[in-house]
Amino acid sequence: MTIIASLLRNAQLPDSPTERLDAELLLAAALGKSRSYLHTWPERIVDSEAAQTFAGYLERRRTGEPVAYILGLQGFWKLDLEVAAHTLIPRPDTELLVETALAQVPATPARVLDLGTGTGAIALALASECPAWQVTAVDRIDEAVALAERNRQRLALGNVQVRASHWFDALAGERFDLILSNPPYIRAADPHLAAGDVRFEPSSALVAGEDGLDDLRLIIAQAPSHLLPGGWLLLEHGYDQAPAVRDLLAASGFVDIASHRDLGGHERISLGRLPC
């Protein structure tokens, strides 16, 4: 017989910076229970099938595979989202983009565009908070479009439309009150690409040229043609890219340009408004 406390005590994930949390998430999933169940009933016996499932999860995690990919789920904002290996795993830093958008634009009727939606995290979080907004979520990867649509349907958010588009390519003539994106922004030679969870994530969702700014340049240059007068553009970027992004926004005619810091104190998002 094996009990919950023993399985957690013996779980070995030495290369994970969140070893205990990972083990708890994986065991809770193997049991079909919540993490709080593990703490409430540490002496409960775990049947052999669940124990084997947990052992398999641990082995995958030891190879470096992200917990989100193992479980197929990731929490973001107030939502649980299906994730898959062809999309970026939603991260807490990106919630700053959602917070800023909600603070910047009234919850009255507005047209909103999420570029490179991946799982649909940003679009779905905004739509859940602002039912009056009509949110369009686009991605160039067909599998990502299908995944975001599954998340939309599961969350029953009727004010979101998921479409296929490489940035603005399929949006000719359409204009929005707010455009957001968490685009690729990592430099091609960044050593972090060979470490941690990002080894398992699609490079197309991470890398943007030699300086990491290729996609940000394109979005900023083309956004004015798709914003209504007074509309806002909000962008996530690398921890050291804010000055360059602010310069790009200014060069494209944006005003009221600013950057906001994440919980680590880094300038993580920048924004600008199209003049009226």
Domain range for residue 136?
85-273
21 sits in the region (left: phi over 0; alpha: psi -120 to 50; else beta) called alpha
What is d(CA 13, CA 59) in angstroms, rounded to the nearest whole number?
Answer: 9
pLDDT-derived band of residue 185, with 50, 70 and 90 as boundaries?
Answer: confident
Q: How confident is the model at residue 199, as a pLDDT?
A: 56
pLDDT at position 76, please? Answer: 94
pLDDT, tens digit (0-9, with 9 covering 90-100), for 59-104 = 999 988 899 999 999 999 999 999 988 888 898 889 999 999 999 9
One domain, residues 118 and 248: yes
Q: Round to the nearest angstrom and report the end-to-end CA distance of the chain.
A: 70
Its pTM stands at: 0.87
- Considering the domain architecture, whether residues 135 and 246 belong to the same structural domain is answered as yes
Same domain, 210 and 176: yes
Q: Is residue 158 part of a domain?
A: yes
Residue 146 clears pLDDT 60, i.e. is over it: yes
Point out which residues pair with 73 in neighbouring strands. 82
Cβ neighbours for 119, distance < 8 A, ≥ 6 positions apart: 74, 76, 81, 82, 83, 87, 88, 90, 144, 147, 148, 151
Count structural domains, the chain: 2
Average pLDDT, the chain: 91
Checking if the pLDDT of 131 tops 90, the result is yes
Shared domain for 36 and 94, answered yes or no, is no
The mean pLDDT of 108-133, rounded to a whole number, is 97
